[in-house]
Amino acid sequence: MNRIVLMFIFLTLVTVLGIAESKRELVCRCDTLRCESMNYTCITDGACVVYIDRYGTGEIQVRGCTTEDPAPRMICDSHDGKPDDRRDSYDYHAHCCYKNMCNDVTKINLTLPTVNPSTSGTDKDSNDQGGGELSTIGVAAAIAGPMCFICGLIMLFICWHQKRQLKKQEHFNEAEAALKPLEVDEAVIPSGQTLKELMDMSTGSGSGLPLLVQRTIARQIHLVGLIGKGRFGEVYKGVWRGQSVAVKIFSSRDECSWFREAEIYQTTMLRHENLLGFVAADNKDNGAWTQLWLVTDYLEKGSLYDYLQLVTLDVHSMLKLAVSIASGLAHLHIEIVGTQGKPAIAHRDLKSKNILVKRNGTCCIGDLGLAVRHNSVSDTVDVPHGNRVGTKRYMPPEFLEDNVHVRHFDAYKRGDVYAFGLVLWEVARKCVSGGICEEYQLPYYDRVPCDPSIEEMRKVVCVEKYRPSIPNRWVQAEALQSVSKIMKECWYANSAARLTALRVKKTLTAICQLHDVDIMV
């Protein structure tokens, strides 16, 4: 029984303490279940050990680590030194070594001497009673040994599980402690302050409100009603201190999408009058699951897609819409160099449904969940993980053919310009000239179904090289003729020949000045 107790203590200490940090570390082979996560190895400041023991007719051989603690060191000293009368046994043996992986089965494979019935044991008595006692002890040892081994592993698993649960509880307590100050909202946001005043006070030149203020605002918003749905969430109108905000709510399974969009919105120097204003990002527990909130400015006119179906435009209103979209896209694409600089950003999903109309008749670009940023120092693009792609109807030919270098940032900017050309076509169709205008339609409405596949779009755009048709009446109107020329230069099949967003903005600004359109609204 001494051997059993010794083996149990040995296994427990090997697995629990074998990976402790110390002055000298060895990597050893380890057979215990606790070492599975380390590819059945352990790290020690003591020695690598191989332990073999006989139980009944079988043998158990265990590999692991010892430490500088007295009990494991006693094992090495006892079995590697000069054996005494008690340890010079046919039934068990241990071997310690002091090099990396020196106890591997290819290097050390211990065996026990074959038991000779005439000499083994403690000088067996010749009477039947003595033989019976030895037999009973052997059976007991054969059963008790494996049982102790299994019990030891169970105890180790229980200890490991309890330790893991304790760490989880500690993290939870830390999170709770961090969030407790948020309950006292008035201490964070003085009464009477508006969102605009908070934005003006925030640091980071448009990178959003301070984190504490974001969470405080989100916990005070009252949702009024659903105003839209998307692929990755629902959009609600909310009210905070009498001010309207838009709340995009993601489910917990779309946490990556929520985090990505919030991260892009909080890019330094991103804030611009033609980009949707970001207010806050927070998570809220609704009792059944965790909701992920993205709070932005609320624009009551809704998306450009909805707006164009309800109105007709004159030349002035058409140009205001067009130049404001181009201005927002140019700000996204441009890199601002400096300590508080902004990286160049490509939208990757520009379309009329992701553009919102403001009260003054201008637009702002929203939904930056698929946007990518360019690191000019390393010339890399932070393309998000996953299979998400932009809207197929607005995808440029090089993306439809999968013939683009995904790590080349200019490819994404040129794709945005192609999509802008299609949006400009949607806007121009609703501009009245000669007393008439076309009904609102999506690009390629006459060639593909409502939800086209990539193959259907590839056939129309790449194989047939078709582009949205230009009505004859546009040729008769100077402004529409100039706008149609910009469209065609935006959707060239050769992406390198397309205009840049900055060039589009400057050209449209010149057209606005020619028609006395006030773009400084």
Q: In 180-280, where does DSSP find H-type helix?
A: 185-188, 195-201, 211-218, 255-265
Name the one residue in this structure whose structure tokens are 């659903």: 226
pLDDT digits (tens, 9 = 90+) for 359-417: 999 999 999 989 999 999 899 998 877 656 789 999 999 999 988 888 899 999 999 99
- List Cβ<8 Å contacts ≥24 apart for 166-169: none
| Whole-number Å distance between alpha carbons of 452 and 300 | 30
DSSP state of 388: -
* Closest by Cα among 54, 53, 57, 144 to 95: 53
Contact of 332 with 412, CB cutoff 8 Å:
no
Please provide residue 229's backbone torsions phi and psi, each rounded to the nearest 5 degrees.
Answer: -135, 145
| Whole-number Å distance between alpha carbons of 326 and 314 | 19
* pLDDT value of position 189: 63
- Neighbour-count burial for 85-95, b at 16+ CB within 10 Å, e otherwise: eeeebebbbbb
122, pLDDT greater than 70: no
pLDDT digits (tens, 9 = 90+) for 394-406: 999 999 998 888 8
126, pLDDT greater than 50: no
67, pLDDT greater than 80: no
Burial class, 55, CB count within 10 angstroms (exposed 0-12 / middle 13-18 / buried 19+): buried
Q: In 430-500, where does DSSP find H-type helix?
A: 454-458, 473-476, 478-490
Residues with Cβ within 8 Å of 246's Cβ and at least 6 positions away in sequence, in order, are: 227, 235, 236, 237, 238, 295, 296, 297, 298, 299
Contact of 52 with 112, CB cutoff 8 Å:
yes
Query: Is 306 among the catalytic positions?
Result: no
Please provide residue 63's backbone torsions phi and psi, each rounded to the nearest 5 degrees.
Answer: -120, 145
Q: Which of 31, 282, 297, 349 is catalytic?
A: 349
Integer angstrom CA distances of residue 85 from 6, 73, 78, 413: 17, 20, 11, 83
- Of the ranges 142-156, 191-205, 236-250, 372-386, which is most confident? 236-250
Contact of 420 with 490, CB cutoff 8 Å:
yes
DSSP state of 462: I
* pLDDT value of position 140: 66
Contact of 41 with 19, CB cutoff 8 Å:
no
State pTM to two decimals: 0.63
pLDDT higher at 97 or 107: 97
* Closest by Cα among 426, 425, 415 to 350: 415
* Closest by Cα among 212, 255, 211 to 369: 255
- Beta pairing class for 47-55 and 41-44: unpaired
Q: Stretch 19-28: mean pLDDT, rounded?
A: 61
Q: Stretch 328-346: mean pLDDT, rounded?
A: 92
Residue 60's pLDDT band (cuts 50, 70, 90): confident
Query: Can you list the positions of beta strands (E) in 241-277?
Result: 243-250
| Whole-number Å distance between alpha carbons of 379 and 14 | 49
184, pLDDT greater than 50: no
pLDDT digits (tens, 9 = 90+) for 213-262: 666 777 788 999 998 887 778 899 999 888 899 999 998 888 888 988 99
| Whole-number Å distance between alpha carbons of 96 and 84 | 17
* pLDDT value of position 121: 46
Name the one residue in this structure whose structure tokens are 């203590």: 9
DSSP H/E element including 156: helix 128-179
Residues with Cβ within 8 Å of 350's Cβ and at least 6 positions away in sequence, in order, are: 329, 365, 390, 394, 416, 419, 420, 423
Of the ranges 22-36, 127-141, 280-294, which one carries the lowest mean pLDDT score?
A: 127-141
Q: Which residues are 243's β-sheet partners?
A: 240
* Closest by Cα among 49, 29, 48 to 39: 29
* Closest by Cα among 313, 192, 299, 283 to 244: 299
Q: In 361-438, where does DSSP find H-type helix?
A: 397-400, 409-429
* pLDDT value of position 304: 97
Query: Can you list the positions of beta strands (E) in 129-288?
Result: 222-230, 233-240, 243-250, 278-285
